[in-house]
Homo-oligomer: A and B are copies of this chain.
Amino acid sequence: MADLKANDKSVNEKVISPAVIKRLPRYYRYLGDLLRNDVVRISSRELSQKMNVTASQIRQDLNNFGGFGQQGYGYNVEYLYNEMAKILGLNKVNNIIIVGAGNLGQALANNSDFVHNGFNIIGLFDVNPKLIGMIVNGVEVYDIDMLGEFIAGHDVRIAALTLPGSKASKVAGELVEMGVKAIWNFAPVDLRLPDDVIIENVHLSESIMTLSYRIHSKEI
């Protein structure tokens, strides 16, 4: 496998652009599909046709991490899949808590894709007494008052915020004080948190408005 190994140029010194980062999970998804279909190797041209991007973009994107391809051979699918998993941090256990156990929180807890990719949901939290004590896909819903104790006793890597916008900022601030360093925010607010906290937003209202814009602008 020596020839396929990423070259030694230090990857960590580079700043990878957000646009490249956003494309990585998609490479990982396609490589997973190829692997499940027993494809052993693939050229950047074949991969580009499947993914509907240019072959040169694929090569450029992967070169940010050392390349992985071999002239005349292409990419070894299993090797690249595993390397991509490492780059994405999916070879580690990523414990997640979900704050807000309504439909959206439950939808996340029930999503089997997350579990397959090393994401481990270890607790849901809510203020609603009707939800507390419920088991969702094997995970218990706890009283939100238990958050501090729970975080102190577990290696929580990510907190998903699936609660109303009016409560999200306050709860996010509390989570950070309790030691949470990464927030997956579904609430329709921009969280203002210390710079070392990583925030990834899923703003559903903005997504549907973008779609509406595109429908409307096509009709004019």
Contact = CB atoms under 8 A, between A and B. Distances in A.
Given A212-B94, A214-B21, A217-B16, A184 B198 contact: no
A158 to B, nearest CB: 6
> Is chain A's interface secondary structure helix, strand, loop, or mixed overall?
helix
A12 interface: yes
B182 A198 contact: no
A50 to B, nearest CB: 9
Interface of A: 12, 16, 21-22, 24-26, 28-29, 51-52, 87-90, 92, 94, 96, 102-104, 106-108, 110-111, 113-114, 117, 119, 157-158, 181-182, 184, 188, 190, 198, 200, 202-218, 220
Contacts of A190: 26, 51-52
Nearest to A30: B190
